[in-house]
Structure formats: C-alpha cells, structure tokens
Structure 1
C-alpha cells in the first residue's frame, strides 16, 4: 500500500544534488561506454561497482539504472554509423540502421533509436511499478518449497533462453553452480573446494568475478583482435528528432508490441535486452505489411526493437527486486550492490523500506526522461567518441578494474579472481558458450541449496513435500514443462516427418 510519507521520502532522496549529479555522471559514462564498439552495458555496470562502494544506497542504484539505460541506447550509434553494434542489444537491427545511413537517412535511424528507447523504457517502468508490488504481496506467502522451484525455474529458463545450443548453456550453468559451492557459505558451514587456502573459505567474490567476466574479457578480446577499425560513413548528423512524431503515429502497434515483448522477455531470468531486441525484430518482420523491405533500410524494425531494448531493462528488475532472481547479467551485478548496501532484495523490501522502492521507480522514470537530452548530446559528439583510440582506452579500463576490485575488500586475491574470471569468460565466449547461465548459477546457487536443505529439514527428508503446497506444485509443473517441452516437440516433429 502506497503511503504519502514514503513517497515524499523517495522524492527527497532522488531529487537531492548528490543523486542528480550521480545520475548525470553515470549517464555520460554509460553513453560513452555504449557508443564505443565492444564495450557493453553490462561492462558499464561492472565498472561502476567499485565507485558505488563509496556512495549512499540511492545514488549508488541511480548510477546503475542511468548508466545501463544510456548504454543500451548509445549502442545504436556505432551500429548506425559504422555497422558495428556498440552493445549486443543493438546487433538485431544494425544492418537495418546502416542501410538507412547509406540511403542518407542516418538522422531518422538515430532519432528512432533514441525516442523509442525512451518510450520503451517508460513503458517498462510503468509495468515495474504495477507488477513488482503485486508480486511482492504474493511472494510474502512463499515458503522454502516455492523458492526452491522458483530458483530452479529461473536457472532452467536461463539455459533455454540464452543459448541456441542448450547443452552448452547447461555446461556453463553447472560451472556457475560449482563456483557458488566454494567456501564456508553453505548450510553445513563445511569448507568446500578451498584446497587449504584461507582466502577461499570466504567463497569467490561475486563482484570481482563479474567485473572480470564482463570487463577483463573485453580487454582480452581487444588484445587478440587484428581487424582494422571501421570508417565513418557520415561526418555530421543533423536534427534527429525531425519526423519522430510521424513515426509514432504510423507505428503505434509496433511500439506497444515491442515494449510489451521487451518487458516480458526482460522479466525472464537470464534473458535481457539483447534477446528482447532479436525477438522483437523477428516479430516485427513477421507481422509487417511490408516484410520485403526489411534489410533494405526500413525504419519499422528499428522502432519496434528500439522499444523492446529499454523496456527489457525495467522488466529485468521485477524478479530481481521481488525474488532476488536476476532478469539479466546487469541485474545480477545490481543484486550484489543491493546486498552491499543492505537493501536485500525480496518481498520484505517492499514492506520494511517502501521509500527505497519508490525511489527506484522514480530513478527509472528520471533516467528515461534524461535519455533524450543526453542522447542528443551523444549523437552530436558521436564522431569524436567513435575515434577515441582503443589502444589508450583498454589499458585504462584494465587499470580501473584492478584498482576498483582491490578497493572493494583491499584484497589481492579478489584481483586474481577477476583476472582468472576474465580469461575463463573470454575462452567460453570464443567457443560460443553463453556466460549468462554461469552468472545465474553463481548468483542463485547458494539460494537453491539453502532452500533445498531447509525444505528437506522441514519435511523430514520427504521429497513429496515439495509438491504438497498448491503454489509449489504449480511451479514444479511449469519447470517440468520447460524441461521436457523441447524433447516432446522434437519427437512430434520427427513423427510427422516419417512418411506414412
């Protein structure tokens, strides 16, 4: 239930100078990172973690929300001007945007990416505001049985959604679960996989590991990349807002469809903005009245996918805030920051500290509104941003990662974890293993084990107790359907293919 005092507190926390300055700085940083090809929105979030260590909770969350929203949009800029997506979320419609640029319509493509990213982000925020408190009410009645099935469902979705090769997804998921087992942080308090190392008893630092997997892996990728830099097609970009109102009037269904799909996909564990963009672009082409124009420089796909991109960001926060289950790799990092700031995610967050939740909602609205003026600034400065020498930028990123990771716990062991995680992530991605399931495994592994052990103690070892509560049984059925549906569909297709 909304209380006016909590809302007023939220406004006071968000509109104080410290928070607004943090948002402005993080917004400019996010735009820069997203616009530089190869640097991702997740990397922007990971790089900000050491900075948030010295901030109050609300400004810390403000930096995360703003930087990721800006980075997802600005990934469109190099995609449009260089045919190199700045972030994976922009890859779905890079060819379409570049084709428009070659036709002399770069302003329209960039404007559509900016305006409809903001629209999609605001739509996702509205859904977050409406859905999260309602889900929190339900989650208050969850026991360890329901949480066990929910975590298992989240891990399962991460495998099937994020990979076109589920077996590789399972491998990286198991790797993440193995990392989550390290140390004393288990129900028995027994040292596991520590190999006699005192540093290992505290487990593998999640933040250090994520900085490594998303930042150091990119540095390594740059070191081994020998391809020449792309050349800019357009030297100057004009008024990008011209004609956007006409596009909104021409494609209202596409905007709504993209925003809805993006929010729904974002709420699925492990999915994220890049999968939302690809699915939305495919849907746009399937239902378009002019599918033959796709790939030749047709704005419709950019309008729909651009809306899906940023709406997925807000959608990913729904399971993260309510259940502590990250919707994507960005919210996996954010959950670590929430725990660090004593804003433990879960349904009680909505009852014990409602002002913090309302502040998060306000931050999302403000970040998406701020995207328009800052996005225009980014587009105007695109030529300079895209020409920043990577051989200077990458060593600076490496230095920042090392210093920031060391500062979290003043530990060289954390720095070692970061470097090893970066190398492992690079090798996994080089062999087309998705790393999102590994991240979900690390974040949710402890939660899965804890709820399983708690449930077994409650039921005196009776496994059937996992199915006796109606909600737990429902989640178990959904999980089983996700597990076996692909196999059943494959058998059905095989049966139909056999001639009578």
Structure 2
C-alpha cells in the first residue's frame, strides 16, 4: 500500500498532470459560471481532449473541472438569479436575496469555502469506503452484480423525479439503445439495420456529448428571453466572516456534507438532488426557519457543502462496481474503459496506484478551488458578459471535432447530433435525461449478468436468492420497486369509507 501511495504521488505531482489540472480548473470555473453550461456539459466537452492523454491526467481533468463547475454555478445564481448549474438552483433565491441586501460577498464566500470543505469530507469517505467495499465486492458473483445493476436503475427512476412514468420511459429508451450491436451474450447483431457502423453499438461518448452539450446549444437557439442584468459590478472580500460562519453552523456543515455524500452514492442522484434535499433539511432543522427565502446564509452553508461532497460520493459505486452515481461519473466510466482501467473491485488489485492517484486528485482539486474560485469571483462580472451568440457556436464546433476524433468517423458526429436533438425533445417535455444515460451504461451489464446467472442456476430464478448477499440485495431492490405501490395502498386503506 505504501509503495502504491508513493507511486500515486509521483503520478499526480508530475508537472504535466498539474498543468492539466490547472487548465481543467479554469475551464470548469468558466463553464460553471456561464448560465446554461452545466458541470456535466463541461465533462462531456473534456472527453475528446482526454482521449489523447494518459489515464491519470485524463481522470484528473474530469474530476477537477466538475468540482470547479459545481461551485462556480453559484456565481450567476448570486449575481443574476440564474443558477449556472442545476446543483446551484436549490439556494439561488437565498443567495440573490443576500445580494440585494448588499451581502453578495458573504453568499459567494460561503459557497466557495463550504463547497471546498464538503468536497474534502466526501473525498475522505471515498478514500475510506471505496477500498473496503472493493474487498467485499471481490466475493461478488454475477447474481450480486445483477441485483446491483437493477438496484442502480431503480434508484435512478424512483429517487427525486417528479414523474416516475417519464423517468421509466427515459430508462427504457436507454436500455433500448444499449441493445444495439453485437455486444450481447449471443453475439447476434440487433437493431443494426444493415449498417456496419452500428455493429459495435452506439458509441457512448458522442452520445453523451450530444445529450448534454448539443441539447443546451439547441435550447439557447430557441430561447428568446432577454439577457439578465448584473446586480453588482464590483465585489469585496469574499472571505470576510467565513470563520464566524464556521463556528456558528458546524452542525449544518456536517449534516450537509454527510447527507451529500450519502445521496451521491445513490445511482442517478447527483449533486443537484443533494443540494435540494440538503436545503430542505437545513430549513427543517434550523432554529430560524422563518428567515429562509429572505437571504439567510445557513441554507447556503449546508447546501454548498452537500453538492460538492456528492461528487466524491458518486465515485464510490463508479470505482467499486462500475455503476455511475450520476451523469458525470457515467461519462468518467466511459473514459476509464477507454484508458484500460475497467471499473470494479479488480481495479484496486491491478491498478492501486491509479486509484490512489484519483483520491489525491480529489484532495488537490478541493484545495485549489479556494484560490482559483476567489479569482473567478473577482472576474465574474466579465465572464458573465460573454455573448451567447459567440459562445454556443464555439461549443458546437468543439462537440463536432471531439465526436469525430474519438473514432475518426463522421458516424460519431451523426450520433452526437441525433442524441442532442433527442435529449432536447425529452427535456422540453419533462423527460429526465439521467435515467437514459444510466440505461445505456448499465444495459449491457444487466443482460450479461442475467444470462450468466441463469446459466449457472440451470434456468432457475431461485438462484438469485440462494446466496446471502444476493438475497439481501434482491429484497432491497424489490422494496424500492414496490414502495410506491405499497404507499398508495396504505393511503387507500387509511381513507374513511365513502371519502
């Protein structure tokens, strides 16, 4: 372990890796600070560039950019009342009310400092939990992995979606896309329509670039709303009063960091859900709940810590089981496969130095967030004035070049454009994109583990419940699947007759 740790330090503190992290940090901060450009979009745009990098700098670029983008989404939320990323939406009104009171520095400073602290907390849990879970996962067979995949897909549908039906439809679209090509237990070409390009299936990276980046470009094209006006033109010392907040709200900080990490571990949850739930919890347990919505800093402290701790939490199932915790880690898993670092418990055995390097990157990313975030806040008034009619065509150009470069084929660009239009139509009609992405990433694993398990058990379904861990996972999965039905039945039974 000591040798692997030393190798990880040498891998990360390489001048090239540090330079990549610096560049990715600036990129993530700028993308997150511009309304409409999400942290997931920042990740998707980075993927074609990471294709030409060694494994450690490639993952370092993704981790650093997303951590920075999640924080910098607070900046337009505070100054324009437009959240830069969905993770900042939960406390945008709170931050904007503080700005109207002349306390923009306090709101932005709290978002910066407590995001970094929450990120470090989540990283600590990642470092402690992931290796321990990997040891347990080494004992898993196809039965346990099947239930884990079903559990992950169930969580993506039933956690935090306003419409379960629409989330299910989105998931089924993703599973259908995962069926395309020869990558199935029978090796039979499915849904290829005679096209040889589809024999290898739908390329995941161009698909994700389309769904997260091209869809935002389309949304900008059809959006006719006038640009928002900046409330302040100059910002003071953002670190003033942070120590007092730390002493006043230690419970909120710990609660937000813990809750964010736990939510991040849930497949399909992500930083935006962590922020919303944490904000609601902050209001529930606050001694001054009546102040929420009027410019109360407590909600920002707790939610700011939650959204960044969720990022690290999402990497736990991604590294240990190959199951993405959110759409960002879904993209990261694709990069890991491209680099030959197949996610799963064997990654900790075969490439421990790379795993420890990822841990170290998380620590460094959250530490450098403070000085770089401070610089971004100072430059915010200029960043927020970038014209969208210049920015969006540039992003589309990067998307096209990147999608072409992955396989050096125009088919990748076609995939990107098709799924960009599909994602735009889905989101405009209230269908979440995240379940579709999880369906594509986990669809192949779902089919392979099911077929393998059925062969092992001589086509007996009881084989899925004969092993203790498999049976436990099966019970948990069925509980989540049938919980909405059970809740509905209980409500019906409790209603008085004739009501």
TM-score in same-fold range (> 0.5)? yes
Alignment partner of 2:238 out of 233, 240, 243:
240
Alignment partner of 2:225 out of 224, 227, 233:
227
Match of 1:118 in 2: 116
Match of 1:333 in 2: 331
3-state DSSP of counterpart to 2:314: helix
Match of 2:28 in 1: 30
Cα contact 1:77–1:110 (8 A) shared by 2:
yes
Cα contact 1:65–1:363 (8 A) shared by 2:
yes
Match of 1:154 in 2: 152
Moved over 3 A (4+): none
Match of 1:271 in 2: 269
Superimposed CA distance per residue, residues 334-390 of structure 1 (whole angstroms, 9 cap, x where no aligned partner): 000000000110000111111111100000000000100000010000000000000
Within 5 Å, which residues of 2 pair with 1:120-199?
Answer: 120-199=118-197
Cα contact 1:162–1:437 (8 A) shared by 2:
no
Cα contact 1:162–1:270 (8 A) shared by 2:
no
Give me the whole-angstrom Cα distance separating, in 2, the residues matched to 1:69 and 1:499. Answer: 53
3-state DSSP of counterpart to 2:159: helix
Match of 2:347 in 1: 349
Give me the whole-angstrom Cα distance separating, in 1, the residues matched to 2:492 and 2:114. Answer: 42
Match of 2:446 in 1: 448
Give me the whole-angstrom Cα distance separating, in 1, the residues matched to 2:215 and 2:56. Answer: 29
Over the aligned positions, Cα root-mean-square deviation in angstroms equals 0.7
Match of 2:479 in 1: 481
Give me the whole-angstrom Cα distance separating, in 2, the residues matched to 1:166 and 1:22. Answer: 40
Within 5 Å, which residues of 2 pair with 1:48-63?
Answer: 48-63=46-61
Rate the CA distance shift 1:434–1:162 in 2: closer, same or farther, 3 A.
farther
Match of 1:371 in 2: 369
Give me the whole-angstrom Cα distance separating, in 1, the residues matched to 2:162 and 2:472. Answer: 27
Cα contact 1:79–1:90 (8 A) shared by 2:
yes
Cα contact 1:162–1:436 (8 A) shared by 2:
no
2:316 is the counterpart of 1:318: yes
Give me the whole-angstrom Cα distance separating, in 2, the residues matched to 1:401 and 1:320. Answer: 25
Give me the whole-angstrom Cα distance separating, in 1, the residues matched to 2:438 and 2:92. Answer: 28
Cα contact 1:144–1:452 (8 A) shared by 2:
yes
Using the TM superposition, give the Cα deviation of residue 494 of structure 1 relative to its aligned residue in structure 2, in angstroms.
2.4
Cα contact 1:162–1:169 (8 A) shared by 2:
no
Give me the whole-angstrom Cα distance separating, in 2, the residues matched to 1:409 and 1:197. Answer: 16
Give me the whole-angstrom Cα distance separating, in 1, the residues matched to 2:203 and 2:351. Answer: 27
- Worse-superposed segment, 299-308 or 479-488: 479-488
Using the TM superposition, give the Cα deviation of residue 486 of structure 1 relative to its aligned residue in structure 2, in angstroms.
1.5
Give me the whole-angstrom Cα distance separating, in 2, the residues matched to 1:89 and 1:490. Answer: 30
Match of 1:411 in 2: 409
Match of 1:362 in 2: 360
Using the TM superposition, give the Cα deviation of residue 162 of structure 1 relative to its aligned residue in structure 2, in angstroms.
3.9
Give me the whole-angstrom Cα distance separating, in 2, the residues matched to 1:482 and 1:406. Answer: 40
Using the TM superposition, give the Cα deviation of residue 497 of structure 1 relative to its aligned residue in structure 2, in angstroms.
2.8
Using the TM superposition, give the Cα deviation of residue 499 of structure 1 relative to its aligned residue in structure 2, in angstroms.
5.1
3-state DSSP of counterpart to 1:438: helix
Match of 1:208 in 2: 206
Give me the whole-angstrom Cα distance separating, in 1, the residues matched to 2:132 and 2:276. Answer: 29
Using the TM superposition, give the Cα deviation of residue 163 of structure 1 relative to its aligned residue in structure 2, in angstroms.
1.0
3-state DSSP of counterpart to 1:237: coil
Superimposed CA distance per residue, residues 246-279 of structure 1 (whole angstroms, 9 cap, x where no aligned partner): 0000000000000000000000000000000000
Alignment partner of 1:83 out of 74, 81, 84:
81
Match of 1:6 in 2: 4
For structure 1, the 5+ residue unaligned runs are none
- Worse-superposed segment, 477-486 or 323-332: 477-486
For structure 2, the 5+ residue unaligned runs are none
Give me the whole-angstrom Cα distance separating, in 2, the residues matched to 1:26 and 1:498. Answer: 60
